[in-house]
Amino acid sequence: MAVGSWRNTPYVVIQNVGATLMFRASLDADQPVRDAQDAEACLARMQAYPAVLAGELERMRQAASRGLIPPSFLLDKAVAQMQSALADASGGGGMVESLVRRARENGIAGNWEARARSIVTGPVSRALETQLAELQAQRTRASGDPGMGERPEGEAWYAWALRASTTTRMSPDEIHRMGLEQLEQIHGRMDPILKSLGYTQGTVGDRMTALAEDPRFRFAEGDAGRAEIMRFIEQRIEWIRAQMPRAFSTLVNPKLEVRRLPAAEEPGAPTAYGGSGSKDGLIPGKMWINLRTTDLHRRYDLPTLVHHETIPGHIWEGEYSNRQPLIRSILAFNAFSEGWALYAEQLADELGAYDENPAWRLGYLQSQAFRACRLVVDTGLHRKRWTREQSIRFFMERNGNKREEVESEVDRYCSWPGQACGYKVGHSEIVRQRSRAQAAMGAAFDLREFDTAVVQGGNAPLDVLARNVDRYIARRR
């Protein structure tokens, strides 16, 4: 599997994959500019950027020569994003502004603007132009077929992608059935909450669709609503931090920031994502929130999103992984990472995050059901040859998700086959291991010690997780 298994993608540059999307955000968020040496390092990274783009271009052409052309609707998004990136670079744009602004704020003297502008408007712009031309050329050859089943060696590729993303040997059909079964179970828990809120008629999906239009749970439009969302997130982080001694016997204290995604990345991005900070602790973990429209979020679903991305989810778990030896801290297994983040949502519920807000628990359950839908839709696209529209409608009709939310989700599954299956497969295994430990230890079971044993075992394949739990049980008996 690829190092960083969430990058097991057949497409080198597409709407949510590629250096163009990641470089500017990384340069601004992760490259400090505290002194002249840092500023020189920032320029050095800019100088290296065209070589990264050239390497991607070679891989794009190699894939295309084998007939591995992305779906046309993904290429349309990628072309628009590349055109925006090129327009920004041609005018000097954000990368230059970021360096100049931070150098000025820290009183770092130097000809930073002219030097950065010559790099960005010169070799960087030329490399972006070449990538754009390749994407446009591939668009003339592209079909609208969304799944790997329509591509060369697609069936074998998808089988490998599922193994890499779930660290199991579950077949597409097994995963599809698992998704349908868990969806029904979770909807069974949602039904009485919906009734308590006055939503009694129709399927769970119908009622969640109606709930999404309830003005009680919507944020204001525009910048006022964006500011409201950011305040809401910070309040939830403050609350959950205080609960961690109840869930872990060994605590960490992660630095974290909440940032809006760069505008150029938002159209192809999920509602949010997060990750831990640097191994040396100097760069904080970040929750990136998609605010292209406040309609992406509701008051009842945002709490769970926060717990998934920050504490006790990705940023919290990442602090333990950062304490591992170097190679272990670099490796990232999708089923563990995302399975843990779903388990973090469950922990938040068990710690009382939603006790006074039934609608918030409904949002948590819809989030879990959403991941069950992913099992169905990902395998539907790549194994059962579902259409893009069929996949979007499944989310909307069965789980009441908003079209604005799931269009980019489904497109993500088309560009990262298998990745979406790691979440619920990983979560189910962590819960299974907890039940096994409880049965083996009886009254001696301590949730805090179990949770700590899992995160201190490091980001690992699910069979390694099981052996870590074996050792935990043996030590405590």
For every residue of 176-194, DSSP letters joined together read: HHHHHHHHHHHHHHHHHHH
In a domain, 75, yes or no: yes
118 plus 174 within the same structural domain: no
Look up tokens 């065209």; give the residue.
50
Label residue 286 by pLDDT band (50, 70, 90).
very high
Residues 258 and 229 in one domain: yes
- Asked whether the predicted pLDDT for residue 208 surpasses 90, the reply is yes
Answer whether residue 314 shows pLDDT above 90: yes
Domain match, 360 and 396 both: yes
User: Where is the domain boundary, 383, 403, 424?
Assistant: 424
Flag whether 453 is in a domain: no
Burial of 358 (0-12, 13-18, 19+ CB in 10 A): middle
Task: Tell me the pLDDT band of 372, cut-offs 50, 70 and 90.
Answer: very high
pLDDT at 74 over 60: yes
How many domains is the chain built from? 2
Helices marked H in 140-171:
154-166
Q: Which pLDDT value is given to residue 3?
A: 64
> What is the extent of the structural domain holding 37?
5-144
The CA distance from 439 to 277, in Å, is: 36
Mean pLDDT of the chain: 94
Beta bridge partners of 258: 287
| Pick from 187, 167, 169: nearest CA to 179 | 187
Regarding predicted confidence, which is higher, 17 or 450? Answer: 450
Whether residue 210 sits in one domain with residue 358: yes
- Between strands 256-260 and 285-289, the pairing is parallel
Residues 133 and 230 in one domain: no
Neighbours of 320 (CB within 10 A): 22
> Is residue 142 pLDDT above 80, yes or no?
yes
SS3 257: strand
Last-in-domain residue among 144, 169, 194: 144
Do residues 338 and 422 touch, judged by C-beta distance below 8 A?
A: yes
Q: Count other C-beta atoms under 10 Å from residue 315's C-beta.
A: 26
Per-residue exposure over 74-87, b if at least 16 CB sit within 10 Å of its own CB, e if not = bbebbbebbeebbe
CB neighbourhood size of 223 (10 A): 10
The C-alpha angle 117, 120, 122, rounded to 5 degrees, equals: 95
Whether pLDDT at 4 is above 60: no
Task: Of 15-19, 241-245, 342-346, 374-378, give the lowest mean pLDDT range.
Answer: 15-19
For residue 279, what are its two tokens?
A: 């191994």
On whether both 175 and 124 belong to a single domain, the answer is: no
**Res 381 pLDDT > 90:** yes
Q: Are residues 219 and 310 in the same domain?
A: yes
Are 92 and 51 members of one domain?
yes
Q: Is residue 11 part of a domain?
A: yes
At residue 219 the predicted structure's pLDDT band, cuts being 50, 70 and 90, is: very high
Same domain, 230 and 339: yes
Task: Note the pLDDT of residue 29.
Answer: 79
- Phi and psi at residue 407, in whole multiples of 5°? -60, -50
Q: What average pLDDT does the segment 70-80 reach?
A: 97
- pLDDT, position 5: 53
Q: Is residue 475 part of a domain?
A: no
> What's the pLDDT at 471?
96
Mean predicted confidence (pLDDT) in 48-73: 96
Q: Which two structure tokens, joined as six digits, stand for 384?
A: 């059962």
Cα–Cα distance measured from residue 3 to residue 287, given in angstroms and rounded to the nearest whole number: 22
- Indicate whether 105 and 129 sit together in one domain: yes
Q: Are residues 42 and 183 in the same domain?
A: no
What strand order describes the sheet that includes 285-289? 256-260, 285-289, 272-275
Per the structure block, which two tokens stand in for 71? Answer: 């779906």
Is 471 domain-assigned?
no
Q: What is the model's pTM? A: 0.91
Query: Quick check: 138 pLDDT over 90?
Result: yes
The label of the residue with tokens 């089923």 reads 335
Short-list 271, 261, 273, CA closest to 295: 271
pLDDT tens, 411-429?
Answer: 999 999 999 999 999 999 9
What does the pLDDT average to over 247-273? 89
Of all residues in the chain, the percent with pLDDT exceeding 90 is: 87
Q: Tell me, what's the pLDDT at 49?
A: 97
Can you give the pLDDT at residue 6?
58
Residues in Cβ contact with 231 at an 8 Å cutoff, skipping those fewer than 6 apart: none
Which domain-ending residue is among 424, 442, 457?
424
* Other beta carbons within 10 Å of 218: 15
If asked whether residues 265 and 133 sit together in one domain, one would say no
Q: Is residue 107 part of a domain?
A: yes
Express each pLDDT in 95-133 by its tens digit: 999 999 999 999 999 999 999 999 999 999 999 999 999
Beta bridge partners of residue 289, listed in sequence order: 260, 272
Residue 432 belongs to some domain of the structure: no
Q: Is residue 122 part of a domain?
A: yes
Contact 27, 423 (CB under 8 A): no
Taking the C-alpha atoms of residue 308 and residue 45, their distance in angstroms, rounded to an integer, is 31
Tell me the CA distances in angstroms from 289 to 263, 283, 305, 374, one per residue in order.
11, 18, 10, 21
Is the pLDDT at 2 greater than 90? The verdict is: no
Q: How confident is the model at residue 268 (pLDDT cuts 50, 70, 90)?
A: confident
Residues comprising the chain, all counted: 477
